[in-house]
Amino acid sequence: MSLETGDFLDDLDADNPVTATDPVSDGSDHLRLIKKVLLATFGQMAALWSLAANNVAIKMSNVAADGFVDMIKVNASDEVVVGDGSADIILDGEVTDGLVFADNNSPLSMRNAADDAVIDMIKVNADDNIEIGGTASRTEFPTGFNSGLNIGAEVDSNARGDNVLKRGSITLPHFANASPVIAILRMLSNGSDNILRIGGINSSLSAATIIELRTTPDHDDESAGAIGLKVDSDSNVTIPAGDLVVTGKIGTGSNGELTIASGAITVTSTRHAVDTEGNNSTDNLDNINGGDAGDWLMLNAASSSRTIVVRDASIGGGNIALAGDASFSMINIRDRIFLVWSGTLWCEISRSQN
């Protein structure tokens, strides 16, 4: 039988040489063929799977069998390079053990656009927290990122009523201390409603979190831009600049009924019903405690069978300034008086007996 030809291992014929017919003199040709094939296949390796020189790649034939694609190599900078840039790298099928790095704090990195630096993409740090991006760059989501940023759900073991709170938070480290984090966005469920909560307070921080919406935000200058809306630690909402435009209805609500005690009440809301002390048939209201300068207040009688007499400061010696210094008697639950706090006096805007 004639000697086969070939360049790689799969070109060899396992049935050659044929003992019964091939002469012994062809043995050297068979040996030379084997050496040729081995050198062509493994010729660049100094030892088993150890490449003889830097920047030499382990290759595989492409699907068309007309060329080779670099699989992995160590470049001149001693970096492990997967692929040759001419084809996508795809993890296909079921990877049961995941993608594992040899030690903690080893990042999955990519070269920058200028090809002069390597940027950390993702890593697991020494505290077993997943870090995305590095300190030298921002993590950005491109325009048209339709799938959003998904945060894994966490089940809270503390029951709120009959419901268990489920949450997933986007958090930021505190500027002065990276350990306490502040929840900036959280999705909650109380069993009947889904709640999007903005802001949060970490118990290890001495100061509460204040939410500010600036008209011209600048990530490099924390003082840039006017504050369009601010929510302080007491849940007060302030619009320092600009107008508040409401196209729907404005409702004041009610914070319940207040009972006069020694001629005074303490307000906690914009609207209250007022009743007499001890359910007396009539009672005088001389002082209204609570409120900040500019606060509005609407009062009405809690009962049509008892009369509330709102008295001017010139009569009752309190902190209420009424039109014409004239007292106002609310004898029906439909009667109303509307006041504004000047900082020193509750000044009447209007009254009505209905």
For residues 296 and 312, the answer to whether their CB atoms sit within 8 Å is no
Per the listing, tokens 């439909």 go with 334
Distance of CA 276 to the CA centre of its chain: 51
CA–CA dist 4, 352 (Å, integer): 114
Distances (CA, A) of 184 to 9, 172, 189, 197, 228: 61, 7, 17, 8, 18
Rg, Å, the chain Cα set: 40
- Residue 119's pLDDT is what? 74
**Average pLDDT in the chain:** 75
Amino acid at 69: V
Which pLDDT tens digit goes with each residue over 197-229? Answer: 666 555 444 455 566 766 665 555 555 566 677
Per the listing, tokens 């600036």 go with 214
Which pLDDT tens digit goes with each residue over 315-345? Answer: 999 999 999 999 999 999 999 999 999 999 9
CA–CA dist 148, 290 (Å, integer): 45
- Residue 317's pLDDT is what? 94
pLDDT over 70 (residue 298): yes
Per the listing, tokens 């600048």 go with 218
Query: Strand 194-198 vs strand 181-189: parallel, antiparallel, or unpaired?
Result: antiparallel
Task: Say how many CA atoms lie within 13 Å of 294 toward its Cβ.
Answer: 1
Which pLDDT tens digit goes with each residue over 121-177? Answer: 777 777 777 777 666 666 665 555 444 455 544 444 444 433 333 445 566 555 555
Bridge partners of 320, per DSSP, are 346
CA–CA dist 292, 239 (Å, integer): 15
274: three-class secondary structure by DSSP? strand
Give me 273's structure tokens.
């019903």
Bridge partners of 80, per DSSP, are 74
Amino acid at 328: F
pLDDT over 70 (residue 233): no
Give me 240's structure tokens.
């320092």
307: three-class secondary structure by DSSP? strand
Which pLDDT tens digit goes with each residue over 41-66? Answer: 776 555 445 555 555 667 777 777 77
DSSP string of 135-158, one letter each residue: TTS-----TT-TT------EEEEE
Give me 342's structure tokens.
């000047």
For residues 26 and 16, the answer to whether their CB atoms sit within 8 Å is no
Give me 318's structure tokens.
């309190």
For residues 124 and 104, the answer to whether their CB atoms sit within 8 Å is yes
- Residue 175's pLDDT is what? 54
pLDDT over 90 (residue 8): no
Listed in sequence order, the residues at least 6 apart from 174 whose beta carbon sits closer than 8 Å to its beta carbon are 180, 181, 182, 202, 205
Indicate the pTM of the whole model.
0.48
